[in-house]
Amino acid sequence: MTYSIHECCKVFNISISTLNTIDELCLRKKYHKLCLKYHPDKNKLIKTNDDFIKLQKCYEILLSYKEKNLNMESNKNESDTIYDYFLSLFHVNNIEKILNWIESQQQNQVIQLHVSWEQVVSKDLYLHNERYIPLWHQQLWIGNDNKSILYHIIVQDIPTYIKRLENNDILVYKYIHFDKKIVGTMIKINISLKKNISFTFSQDLLKTKYKIIENEGIPRINNELIYDISSLSNIIILFIQLPTK
């Protein structure tokens, strides 16, 4: 399901004009606060995950909207300062441009690790210069002061039907035929080559069209204890109607 920009702004209690000026950090903070409000695990008054799923979708739509606006602004202002240039580039698709610039200015300060999705799902550590790097992080600073190194972890082969959310939840798109024949059948989904999940498709799933499997994903990010794997993310399966012939 998709939502308009106006609907998404209403969920976040902001206006379109505010959206154009608010930075991604502030938007992320609003998102995290709303997660506490709408997630059933955090708020016992919430009985279903509908509002939480809508919140996640609206967050993605707002980020995409801001990204497009940033690209338009970047094309208009070719004489921006270095500071403005970085602001216009600071989104996921252009993060490598920033990293390459930093690396050209400060040698050995940025390390890019190209890893497999299987390594992330398996909670692997990567040994680099006698440092163990937890691969479920996306960016990670290690070191002190001027000797700090930014590790940028690039996952090359995430399946097209899987999306990794900012909080490390795993969103899976599963295409099916919504009819009564599927009720009672076993659904198997490959998260990676070595990890899969199976469950029986219930009558309720015909109505909700999603299933949340808690604590079965990859480790949550803990910036204080970077190797902590005690808290795992959720796997959210969205069922999508297969096109009819």
Contact 221, 137 (CB under 8 A): yes
Contact 9, 31 (CB under 8 A): no
Tell me the mean pLDDT in the region 80-96. Answer: 49
Alpha-carbon dihedral of residues 22, 26, 27, 28, nearest 10 degrees? 160
Mean pLDDT over the full length of the chain: 81
Alpha-carbon dihedral of residues 3, 234, 118, 138, nearest 10 degrees? 70
pLDDT digits (tens, 9 = 90+) for 138-186: 988 887 655 678 888 999 899 999 999 989 999 999 999 888 889 999 9
> Does the global pTM surpass 0.75?
no
